[in-house]
Copies of this chain bind each other. A is one copy, B any other.
Amino acid sequence: MFADSQVQLRESPSCLSKKLSHYRQVPADEEPILAKTLRQNQRSTQSRAILIEQGEPAAEICVILKGWASRQKIVSDGSRQILAFHLPGDICEFNALLGASSDTQTVALSDVRSARITRRALNELAATAPKVSQALWWEALSSNAIQREWLINIARRGASERIAHLLCELHYRLSLVGAASDTAFASPLTQAQLGNACGMSAEHTNRTLRKLRDTVGIGLEDGEVRFADIDAAHRYSDFDRRYVLLNGL
Contacts and interface: CB of A to CB of B under 8 A. Distances in A.
Contacts of A151: 81, 83, 147, 150-151, 154
Contacts of A100: 138, 141, 246
Contact of A137 (B81, B98, B104, B199): B98
Q: For A56, A76, A81, which residue has the most chain B Cβ atoms within 10 angstroms?
A: A81
A149 to B, nearest CB: 8
A76 B236 CA distance: 11
Interface in A233-249: 238, 240, 242-243, 246-249
A102 to B, nearest CB: 8
Chain copies in complex: 2
B141 A98 contact: yes
A145 B104 CA distance: 9
Interface string A91-111: 000110110110110000000
A144 interface: yes
Nearest to A196: B155
A63 to B, nearest CB: 18
Contacts of A145: 103
Going nearest first, the 10 A-B pairs with the smallest beta carbon separation are A55-B249, A155-B199, A101-B248, A100-B246, A81-B152, A76-B238, A103-B243, A83-B148, A151-B151, A147-B147
